[in-house]
Amino acid sequence: MTKRTPLIAGNWKMNLDHLQAIALIQKLCWTLNDADHNWDQVEVAIFPPFTDLRSAQTLIEAEKFEVRLGAQDISKYESGAYTGEISGSMLSKLGAKYVLIGHSERRQYHNESDELLNAKVKAAWANSLVPIICVGETLEELETQGQSAVPVAQTIAALSGHETIGEFVIAYEPVWAIGTGKVATPAEAEAVSKAIRAAILENFGGESAQSRILYGGSVKAANVAGFLASGEVDGVLVGGASLDAEEFAGIARFQKHIVL
Ligand code: PGA
C-alpha cells in the first residue's frame, strides 16, 4: 500500500447508541465485502465515539473486516489525574490506527488552540497513531483571507517544532461546508490541497509532502468522485453520510463513478 492510497474516513461524531454502532459496522462491512471492495486500493476507516471502540475492535477482528478504526480525539497527556481524558496508549491498545485532531467542532466548541493541537499530534506519534489533522477556514476567514491562508497556517502550526515528523494525514474541511450541505467545488478543494502540499514541502521536506490530503464537508456518494478525480485530493472525511452504511459504502466505491 503506498502512502497516497485513497482514504475514506467516516467521522460518526456523537451519534448512535452502542447497539446501533455495532449494527452499522456489520452492515458496512457486509456491504463493502459484497461489492468486492478492493481493500488494497482504497482504505476505509471509521471513527465511532470512544464508548464504541472496544466492541468495534472485537467485531472487526473476529470478522476479519479490513476497515480501520480511529478515534475522534486524544489527550495531550500520557496518563494521570486528567478526569474525562482518553490517552493515546488507551487508543492504540483498542486497535485504533488513526486519530482525528483539531476537528473544527473541537476548535470551535472546546477552544482547542494550535498549541494544544500540536501537543496532541505529538501524543499520537508517541503511541504509534496516525493523526488526521483537520484544518479549514470559517466563512468570515474565507471572505477576509481567501481560502488557503488559514488551512495552510493551521497545518504548519500542527507540524512545527517536533523532533521528528511521523506519518500524518491532513483533512481540509472548510468550516462553512461542514454539515451545511454547502460544498466546496472540486477545483477549490484541489487548489487548497496544492497550497497545503506546497507549504508542507517548503517547511518539512519531501517525504512529508507525500502525505495524504483529504477533503471534508458535505461529501456524499453523489459528489465524491469530483473531488478524487484529479488525484490531487487523496480521500475524504465524511460526517453525516458516514452514518448510513449504503451511502458510506457508495462513497468508498467512488472509483466506479470516475470515468477515466
Ligand atoms: P459533514 O461533516 O460530512 O456532515 O459535512 C464532515 C466532518 O465534520 O468531518
What CATH code is carried by the domain that includes residue 162? 3.20.20.70
* For the CA of 218, the nearest atom of ligand 1: 5
From the CA of 170, how far away is ligand 1's center (Å)?
15
Instruction: Give a yes or no: residue 214 inside a domain.
Output: yes
Do the Cβ atoms of 220 and 251 come closer than 8 Å? yes
Q: In this structure, which residue's CA is closest to atom 7 in ligand 1? A: 239
Q: From the CB of 184, is ligand 1 less than 6 Å away?
A: no
Q: How many domains does the chain have?
A: 1
User: Rounded to two decimals, what is the model's pTM?
Assistant: 0.96
> DSSP assignment of 95-127, as one string?
T--EEEES-HHHHHHS---HHHHHHHHHHHHHT
195-214 average pLDDT score: 95
- Quote the crossing angle between the two packed helices 18-34 and 53-62, to the nearest 10°: 30
From the CA of 245, how far away is ligand 1's center (Å)?
15
Q: Across all residues in the chain, what is the average pLDDT?
A: 94
Looking at this protein, which amino acid is placed at residue 119? A
Instruction: Give a yes or no: residue 89 inside a domain.
Output: yes
* For the CA of 178, the nearest atom of ligand 1: 5
- Quote the crossing angle between the two packed helices 149-159 and 186-204, to the nearest 10°: 40
The pLDDT-based confidence of 254 (bands split at 50, 70, 90) is confident
> DSSP assignment of 15-76, as one string?
---HHHHHHHHHHHHHHHHHTT--TTTSEEEEE--GGGHHHHHHHHHHTT---EEEES---S
* pLDDT for res 3: 54
Q: In this structure, which residue's CA is closest to atom 2 in ligand 1? A: 239
Q: From the CB of 239, is ligand 1 less than 6 Å away?
A: yes
Q: How many CA atoms lie within 13 A of 213 on its CB side?
A: 28
Instruction: Give a yes or no: residue 65 inside a domain.
Output: yes
Instruction: Give a yes or no: residue 123 inside a domain.
Output: yes
1 pLDDT higher than 50: no
- CB within 8 Å of 220: residues ≥ 6 apart: 241, 247, 251
Identify the H or E element spanning 133: strand 130-135
253 pLDDT higher than 60: yes
Identify the H or E element spanning 11: strand 7-11
Instruction: Give a yes or no: residue 1 inside a domain.
Output: no
Helix residue ranges, H only, 165-244: 186-204, 224-228
Please list the active-site residues: 103, 173
Instruction: Give a yes or no: residue 53 inside a domain.
Output: yes
Report pLDDT digits (tens) over 147-179.
999 999 999 999 999 999 999 999 999 999 988
- Residue found under cell 517547511: 203
CA 231 to CA 89: how far, in whole Å? 34
Classified as helix, coil or strand, 241 is helix
From the CA of 258, how far away is ligand 1's center (Å)?
22
From the CA of 169, how far away is ligand 1's center (Å)?
16
Instruction: Give a yes or no: residue 247 inside a domain.
Output: yes
Q: Which domain holds residue 52?
A: 7-255
Instruction: Give a yes or no: residue 152 inside a domain.
Output: yes
